[in-house]
Every structure is written in structure tokens, then in C-alpha cells.
Amino acid sequence: MNYSIEGEPLPVVICSLEAGDTMITEKGAMSWMSPNMKMETTSNGGIGKMFGRAFSGESMFVNRYTSIGGNGMIAFASSFPGSIRPFTIAPGQEIIAQKSAFLASTPNVEMSVFFQKRFASGLFGGEGFIMQRLSGNGIVFLEFDGYIKEYELAPGQQIIVDTGYLAAMTGSCSIEIQTVPGVKNMLFGGEGLFNTVITGPGRIWLQSMPVPQLAGAIRPYIPTGN
């Protein structure tokens, strides 16, 4: 399978498949394809994985597209201005990503739920509490919001991120939700009540325009009915 990613900040990934090759995608993600691509809607793993996908922000069912009788082509477009990034998944090379980041993958990539270790702080930490774990073998395409900045963290090195700006991290990183120190800072600082603390070693991907922040910024300018 070959692919190209084109068109940022409104990107699309175009995949060229050989006969028999299959892609897994979230429902509604297919944008265009050649006529020989066969679609099949499936649970892709049974009840447990269905509910796991739903809990991590995806639909319970996925679509399988297989190239029949020769080479095929299929394209998946991002649902929001930003970036599509490819990741090679292998044992020991897991990726933890934000909810709803999954766009498409080869068949042997598995998605499961990633929880914060500290349930109480994570429960009120918003975007950082429930994330997606991508494991198995293959290539996965993830969609992120806005501009993406990457950092490589050394062992023990930390970075503090406003909740929701963490797009993805390698499985070697650890993450914790912490409250903003000081009551005055929490009430009047305008930065919310929680921050996400990421500790290396590993690589992280930060996004500049999370959808919830954008929605909050434009909400006052949206006309409402009487």
C-alpha cells in the first residue's frame, strides 16, 4: 500500500492498494474511491471492541474497504482543518491519541481505550481522561486539529500542556492530570482547572486548535433563535 497526504490545512490521504489489500476506516470517512473497492460494515472484533471504540470517541462499527480484482484507490479526508499524520504501529511502538483521532488504518492495527491511572483527577480533566490506544501491526492515519508541534522528551523530562492540546504521544510516555495550583489561579486565571503533565521518554504531538476550544471561541458570535 502506497499513500500520499495532500492539501493541508484541509488534508486528504490518498491510498493506492494492490489487489486484496484492505483498509479499515471510521464510518463516513471515505471521500472517493475506485469502482473496484468493496465495502463491508463490521464490528471488527466483537462486542468488547465495539464498546471500546464507542467509549474512545469512535463509532461502534467500522467499514472495511478491499481492492477486488486489481489495484484500487481510496481517499480519506480530514473532518476539520489541521493535519493527517501516518504512524507505523508495531509491538513496543504503540501510539496514544486523542479521542476521535482515528481516520483509517491497515487491518492489523487494533484500537482500545486508554485511561488515566488516577481516575479521580482524570474524571474531571476533560479531553485528557479517555484517549485511544493504537497497537498491533500496520499503518494508521490520525487526524489532528490545527498546526502540529512535535517534541522529543528525554527520560524524566516533563512538559505541561493545557488539557485538550495533546494530540498524541508514544506509548513510552506517561501522562497525569493535575489541578492548577492556587484558588485564585483556578478561578480567575482563565486557563481552566486542570493541566496535563506528560513525562518522557518518548515523542509527543501537540495541536494548536482543539475543536472544543474553537467552538467555545466562536460560540458568542453564533446567532441564536428567539
Instruction: Give pLDDT, residue 45.
Output: 61
pTM of the complete model: 0.85
Instruction: Give pLDDT, residue 120.
Output: 44
The grid cell for 212 is: 472544543
Instruction: Give pLDDT, residue 190.
Output: 47
Q: What is the spatial distance between Cα 142 and Cα 162, in angstroms, rounded to a whole number?
A: 21
Mean pLDDT by 10 residues, the chain (226 residues): 94 97 92 97 65 56 95 95 96 93 95 69 52 95 95 97 91 86 51 80 95 79 76
Q: φ and ψ at 84, to 5 degrees? A: -110, 125
Q: φ and ψ at 69, to 5 degrees? A: 75, 10
Q: What is the spatial distance between Cα 170 and Cα 199, in angstroms, rounded to a whole number?
A: 11
Q: How many CA atoms lie within 13 A of 155 on its CB side?
A: 0
Instruction: Give pLDDT, residue 125.
Output: 46
Handedness of CA 132, 169, 85, 195 (dihedral sign): positive
Which residues lie below 8 Å from residue 198, measured CB to CB, with a gap of 6+?
Answer: 153, 158, 159, 161, 166, 169, 173, 174, 175, 204
Q: What is the spatial distance between Cα 205 and Cα 222, in angstroms, rounded to a whole number?
A: 31
